[in-house]
Structure 1
């Protein structure tokens, strides 16, 4: 039976697994994580949903208490592909444990979490490249910025999920489309929120005509609590993973395809991914748009260098001026250590406006 490995047991990992349980092709999903109880719960619910749906999907728990054990777990699973949906920085921390750290992220941008998102992705991607060099790797952790870091580090990554894919799903619904074959979305993670200026809005094409009302079409999604949107992202991810597992065809939009920054319209066919840009828009122009958008998200990855946007640099200059100039994408460990020290310090301080 075809094997898929899912690393993580958080809300997004659960949403993807539960969607695959009822919509996916017959596949065995190995769930990898640190907490055996959480893994067991995910596998039980996934198996029960699969049984009700008659999908033929099965789940296997694979506790990995230490990061050093990940290569062995992946070698044992021998998956066709891996989805990473785990990082050391929760996107929901501001809701559950507000502090000066979450205030820094709110003011400077989510991009300040890049070191925490990238460390797990680099580790998982490198482990897979060693244990299963023919397998594909899909990263769900801030792929708009992390996938370019992976590319700079020489870690193969096919694409991400969420973000541009979520926006495309909402636009498909708003436009009443049966599928996304005639829909193309160029958008960054930052476009999950409405921009201050209409000129900075996501770019959307329907039947090769660019739409002027993307913001209005996305208003309903942006009004929904972010935690609820995992129910959509999970299903969009399940469709992408199902297509990769079966070698089918799918036209959609995804973040971080082929290590690029931001999100793009893409085509999946026979396990291969290619850009599906609208007529008149070349790759360089599409990348430049996403890099301009990345500035508002707080972090830009260009070549082998990570730099921070103006707001992020200003915030860092107040609390950790030695970090404000960024860091080499290929020298991640010192950045993770420095940002961990900053986060630990700020978590002990109260949130501020």
Structure 2
């Protein structure tokens, strides 16, 4: 919970539930918050470490993007609740925002930006370059670039950097949990600046429902792309859309589609979904993925017995 002061914190008297079939929105309606941050999803990114199974192998084979419905279902409910009872509240999504945010936008649901991913990369570059802040730094990058051999695009004072891989070498050698700690610190800094009303220059995933991550500037409660000279919004969006295919997925024009590798992994299990699905089918597709996950987990436990 982030609140401006102890009075604001004390006013939050009840929990909100967005995972039950029927969830209440009275707390959100009462608070009328400036920002809401959602970091809850129906699929942990660490399941492959804690409990590997046929399900986690499917994710590894197809790409993390196949978990998109499970990453979206909770934050979509939050977005609907905000649209209904607190439409001025800005939603910040911490769950695979590079793909989830454009899916939310396709559904007409409000989402302001994300945290993590390109923000994590930008924080690592800030440290590597020994910069006091990110005002001179612009990073174009996707969730897939956290471990990808392909590289993010980086500018310093408007000039492109060519030694990005070397600058990120130490960060990419860290376990994913440690990278997530860096992501958390970067998110906390962003939220503190927002709570203080400070202007911010940084790089964030999914701003305004766009795919991937971009350099942005935040001032007076408004967020805008802060692209370097010579790079258009259309070029940046297309570059990020293509980068996202490394996660096995693409969200474009209200349609979710899969790469050939992801299709091959999904077809034996969900052939009708492997061919792609429209954004409006999110709930139905989520149900099918939940059933598949349960089945594959059970298959693994039976093998162990």
TM-score bracket for the superposition, by shorter chain length: over 0.9
- Listed as ranges, the matches of 1:314-353 within 5 Å are 314-350=264-300
Q: Report the TM-score when normalising by structure 1.
A: 0.81
| Separation in 1, partners of 2:137, 2:264 | 38
Deviation at 1:235, TM superposition (A): 1.8
| Separation in 1, partners of 2:45, 2:164 | 25
Q: C-alpha deviations, 1:203-237, integer Å up to 9, x for none?
A: 11111111122111111111111112232211211
Residues 28, 144 of structure 1: alpha-carbon distance in 2 compared, 3 angstrom cutoff: farther
- 1:26 aligns to 2:12 (yes or no): no
Structure 2 partner of 1:123? 77
Structure 2 partner of 1:160? 114
- Listed as ranges, the matches of 1:1-353 within 5 Å are 25-26=4-5, 62=15, 64=17, 66=20, 68-195=22-149, 200-350=150-300
| Separation in 2, partners of 1:109, 1:262 | 16
On the 8 A contact 1:295/1:310 being kept in 2, the answer is: no
Deviation at 1:112, TM superposition (A): 0.4
Q: Report the TM-score when normalising by structure 2.
A: 0.93
Q: C-alpha deviations, 1:240-259, integer Å up to 9, x for none?
A: 22222232101000000000
Unmatched segments (≥5 aa) in structure 2: none
On the 8 A contact 1:70/1:124 being kept in 2, the answer is: no
Count of aligned pairs between the two proteins: 301
Structure 2 partner of 1:17? none
CA RMSD of aligned residues (A): 2.1
| Separation in 2, partners of 1:208, 1:324 | 41
On the 8 A contact 1:243/1:268 being kept in 2, the answer is: no
| Separation in 2, partners of 1:310, 1:99 | 23
Unmatched segments (≥5 aa) in structure 1: 1-5, 7-19, 31-56
Deviation at 1:28, TM superposition (A): 6.3
